[in-house]
Amino acid sequence: MDYYIDIFLLPDPELPLPILMSALFSKFHKALCDLRSTDIGVSFPKRGQNLGNLMRIHGNLKTLTTLQEHKWIGPMMGYCKIGNILPVPLKVKYCTVFRKQPTMSTAKLRRLIKRGSIAEDETTRYKSKMFSQSLTEPFIELRSNSTGRRHKRFISFGPLQNKPVTGNFDQFGFSSTATVPWF
């Protein structure tokens, strides 16, 4: 993880930033799947209540060059300013960026009902508990290619560390153990 690419989303009067970031991230995820990549990570250095307007992609020079040659951004190009592949600065911290899954969801409730693990009269109690425990992390909204359903992928950030931790990333660019440079 010694190189990175910054992709800034440009403001658009008709499309809110979270929708643009979700669309960009969907393209990124598809490219990682196409390339079968496990050595590209992602971070969102300008995150706040949402993920901000900057998506930073991390990897080695060869992997990032291959990603850019894939021309994965496609029609999103008009909404982005793409930086060059640059070396990571010398003095940085490191951070894990990973998916945070809710412990209760409507999909899980449907499965519990179908399986017979929860009675119909308990669904109201389940739903109220589910909404009281909702996640506050920023998220990407994605659409499943297999079912067409939309779902939120909540993103959490680990504590800053002084040393990098190597490992594999999933095809969303996340890892609960491997770190990306944070600067």
Distances from the Cα of 133 to the Cαs of 3, 22, 49, 102, 137, in angstroms? 38, 24, 17, 8, 12
What is the Cα–Cα distance from 48 to 94, expressed in whole angstroms?
Answer: 18
What is the Cα–Cα distance from 26 to 40, expressed in whole angstroms?
Answer: 15
**Residues with catalytic annotation?**
29
What is the Cα–Cα distance from 92 to 80, expressed in whole angstroms?
Answer: 25
The amino acid sitting at 62 is K
The amino acid sitting at 86 is L
What is the Cα–Cα distance from 61 to 23, expressed in whole angstroms?
Answer: 25
What is the Cα–Cα distance from 181 to 96, expressed in whole angstroms?
Answer: 9
